Structure 1
Amino acid sequence: MDSFLTTHLPQLTRSRIKQLISDGLVSSSSGKPVKPGQKIRGDETFEVSLPEARPIEALPEDIPLNVLYEDSDIIVIDKPAGMVVHPAAGHFQGTLVNALLFHCKDLSGIGGMLRPGIVHRLDKGTSGVMLATKNDQSHNAMAKQFKSHSISRKYRALIYGQIASSGTVDLPLGRNPNDRKKIAVINGGREAVTHWKLLASYQGLSLVELTLETGRTHQIRVHLSH
């Protein structure tokens, strides 16, 4: 039965069809649910009922947070390196959003069910200050300030090699056409501007302070590689 349905319903995997049969969601023309090993006759029709997809929702988790500031509108966190900001494919638990949902009674809903309260992001491997909002009014206000650059963001990075005392990288970024999981400098990509200032150098290493005009994914890593 499952082999027959897999052939005629290529949009569904065999394991998915087996689950639908087990759940009683596949019935014959008589209206009776079919059985996994049921033989097929030539004059039968079958009806497959697909359950309505449930939206994925982030769940609260009791994860310790280093709270730098908090009031009724916003919360400011020191995000550790290794923590993903919001749930996504492969990371539905242990994220900053999961921790915030446990810590805060309310978060702004503008970011949707997977990004409540999130106004900006930091890469998984980056540690630093993150601001989250507790209501839609504060979310809109903070988003406006990030967009107008009235909120400045400074980062420090330790890099290999020698670098000039200061400078700017203005190169557009986008998905690497050869590997969609990677970000690269792409003609026609989104504008990305990074300013740097050398703080110290020692034995082939340079400590730099970076100021971003834009906040693209992996912007610092890609720009510093150029």
Structure 2
Amino acid sequence: MENIQHIIQENEKGNRLDLVISTLQEDWSRTQAQFLIKEGHVTVNGKTSKPNYKSAVGDEVLITIPDPEPLDVIAEEMDLDIYYEDEDVLVVNKPKGMVVHPAPGHLTGTLVNGLMAHCKDLSGINGVMRPGIVHRIDKDTSGLLMVAKNDRAHEKLVQQLVDKSVTRKYRAIVHGIIPHEYGTIDAPIGRDPKDRQKMTVVTKGKQAVTHFHVLDRFKEFSFVECELETGRTHQIRVHMKYIGFPLAGDPKYGPRKTMDLNGQALHAGVLGFVHPRTEEYMEFQAPLPAYFEELLIQLKNDR
């Protein structure tokens, strides 16, 4: 356990307490400062305070940094497909069949297990079970993910998701022949009241917007590119089912008679964002996995 003392200076007068604390260490974020305050690890003139307390010149701030919470997730050496990495962010191409983060009863073999063996400096904002995870893709969806290596990077990447400025394009094979070239699905998504394990379009759900473009058509299927404006759970899978073109191979949202692909034919192929430190736009592309390419060849031959 470590203590940090700080006396409020003239240039900090009137500033919120959480803002002041976030500037005391280079790698501290506003979120981390708020956590310390709310958990009672910060006193002002000997008394606990609130994040929005307005600082006064001469205030004595004492921060007690708790020992880090032990992480029960096991680091596992994996052959990760890393597309980019620096001190702030990492971009990885997740294979089909891999879970992103551990959960009770499933603590090994996840992307997080591999990331922990690959690098020790991951953001802690999402807790000990999801270090560095800014967003996720489903177990049977392959493709690109951005991972934060510190809290400041995490906050800036999340803000881009909130601002809908992250580029996320997916390739998918869906049942049916979509008659038009382009479309936008703007339909709110929430828990299915009939099945809590599923998501569905519901009136009181969260706003969800998916843009799609037909790339090719086959005898009974269409090959599409979907671009996310929002990022709701199972969004593409739910939206394509909603308009009558469910994903091939999808055991949860697809038709009873679908392809045996061990999960939906969905690949997060393009990921673009503004780097949290350099503020330069970066974009990455991951090719379709082998099974997906082979499926496309098969569908073309059957046409």
Percent identical among aligned pairs is 53
Match of 2:223 in 1: 207
Residue 72 of structure 1 pairs with residue 78 of structure 2: no
Match of 2:26 in 1: none
Match of 1:145 in 2: 160
SS at match of 1:225: helix
Where do 1:1-226 residues align within 5 Å?
Answer: 57-163=72-178, 164-226=180-242
For residue 114 of structure 1, what is the amino acid of its counterpart? M
For residue 206 of structure 1, what is the amino acid of its counterpart? S
After superposition, give the CA deviation of every residue in 1:4-54 in whole Å (9 maximum; x if it has no partner). xxxxxxxxxxxxxxxxxxxxxxxxxxxxxxxxxxxxxxxxxxxxxxxxxx9
User: How many residue pairs end up in the alignment?
Assistant: 173
Structure 1 unpaired stretches of 5+: 1-53
Separation of aligned partners in 2, 1:77 and 1:215? 18
Separation of aligned partners in 2, 1:57 and 1:175? 30
Taking only aligned residues, the RMSD between alpha carbons, in angstroms, comes to 1.5
SS at match of 2:167: coil
Q: How many angstroms does 1:146 deviate by?
A: 1.7
Distance 1:56 1:182, change over 3 A: farther
Q: TM-score, normalised by structure 2?
A: 0.55
Q: How many angstroms does 1:55 deviate by?
A: 7.8
SS at match of 2:198: strand
Distance 1:56 1:75, change over 3 A: closer
Separation of aligned partners in 1, 2:202 and 2:92? 33
Which consecutive segments of 4 or more residues in structure 1 shift more than 4 A? none
Q: How many angstroms does 1:179 deviate by?
A: 1.4
For residue 183 of structure 1, what is the amino acid of its counterpart? M
Structure 2 unpaired stretches of 5+: 1-68, 243-303
Separation of aligned partners in 2, 1:90 and 1:168? 38
SS at match of 2:128: coil
Q: How many angstroms does 1:56 deviate by?
A: 7.0
For residue 120 of structure 1, what is the amino acid of its counterpart? H
For residue 57 of structure 1, what is the amino acid of its counterpart? D
Separation of aligned partners in 2, 1:89 and 1:185? 28
Separation of aligned partners in 1, 2:70 and 2:221? 47
RCO comparison, higher one (Cα < 8 Å, 6+):
2
Separation of aligned partners in 1, 2:238 and 2:187? 9
